[in-house]
Structures are given as C-alpha cells and as structure tokens.
Amino acid sequence: MNRVLLPLVSVTILIVGCVKPPIEGRLDPYTPAQLHFASKELKNDTAVGTPTASRDAAGQILYVTVPVRSATNKDLHVDYRVTFFDRTGTPINSTSWFTRTLVSNVPDYITVKSTTPLAADFQVDFRYAQ
C-alpha cells in the first residue's frame, strides 16, 4: 500500500506546488488630488492657484477654473484635460487634451465646463504639449 500511496502523495504535492497565486494590484498610497502633472519639471515650470468650481445660473453645469502661469522666463506649451466625477467618485466624462500656451510670467486661467449636471467633482491633468 505504501508503494501506491507514496507516488500518489508526491504527484498531489507536485500539482499543488505548481499552482501560482494571482498577482494582485497594490493599493496606491497617495490620495488623488485635483491637479496632476506628468513630470516634476512641468510642476516646477508652472505656478497654479486654487481651482474653483461653480454652477451655472440654473445650477446644472459645473464650471472649473484653474489659475495658471508659466513660472519661467519662457513661454510654455502645455496640454490639459479635465475628468469629471459624480457624487460617488465615479468618472462620468473626460475632455480630450487641449493645448494652451502660457506666456512667461503672465497669469492666465483655464476654464472648462462639464457636459452633464451629474458632475460633482473634477481632476485636471497637465503635460507638456505633444
């Protein structure tokens, strides 16, 4: 009986040992902010103020305004997009990438409006123009 049981146990251990566990995602330790930059260089080359959100007169459409300027002695060409979220934090729509030239040390404003009254929050992403 040991002659039959020993190979069976060995095969069972071999099969169980070959099963790999799934690779699970790791939690992001950083809480998402409303403004994100694609690189540290772009973050250092720009100065942004506190973004504001307001509704139209009917209280339906969300308008987002971000004060921004080139903080260098050269004009910057940046792309930006805005993602809107509902009250539960679920993304509901995102704009395409828009290009903006920020004139050296001149304050400017980026304003974008949502396409639905469900928008409750937003995130703005910046990158160097592509």
- Which helix (H) or strand (E) is 42 found in, with range? helix 40-45
What's the confidence (pLDDT) of residue 109? 97
- Say if 1 falls within a structural domain: no
Q: How many domains does the chain have?
A: 1
Q: Classify 47 as helix, strand or coil.
A: strand
pLDDT at 93: 94
What integer pLDDT is reported at residue 122 of this predicted model? Answer: 97
**Does residue 78 lie in a domain region?**
yes
115: in domain? yes
Q: Provide the CATH number for the domain around residue 54.
A: 2.60.40.3230
Domain span at residue 42? 34-128
Domain annotation covers residue 21: no
Given a cut of 60, whether residue 1 has pLDDT beyond it is: no
pLDDT of residue 18: 73
Q: What integer pLDDT is reported at residue 64 of this predicted model?
A: 97
The verdict on residue 100 lying in a domain is yes
For residue 27, CA distances in Å to 17, 30, 31, 49, 104 come to 27, 9, 10, 29, 39
Is 10 a domain residue? no
SS3 126: strand
Residue-wise pLDDT tens digits, 31-85: 889 999 999 999 999 999 999 999 999 999 999 999 999 999 999 999 999 999 9
Q: Looking at the predicted structure, is the pLDDT value of residue 15 above 70?
A: no
Asked whether the beta carbons of 27 and 15 are under 8 A apart, the reply is: no
Q: Tens digit of pLDDT for each residue in 77-126?
A: 999 999 999 999 999 999 999 999 999 999 999 999 999 999 999 999 99
Residue 59 domain-assigned (yes or no): yes
How many whole angstroms separate alpha carbon 95 and alpha carbon 1?
71
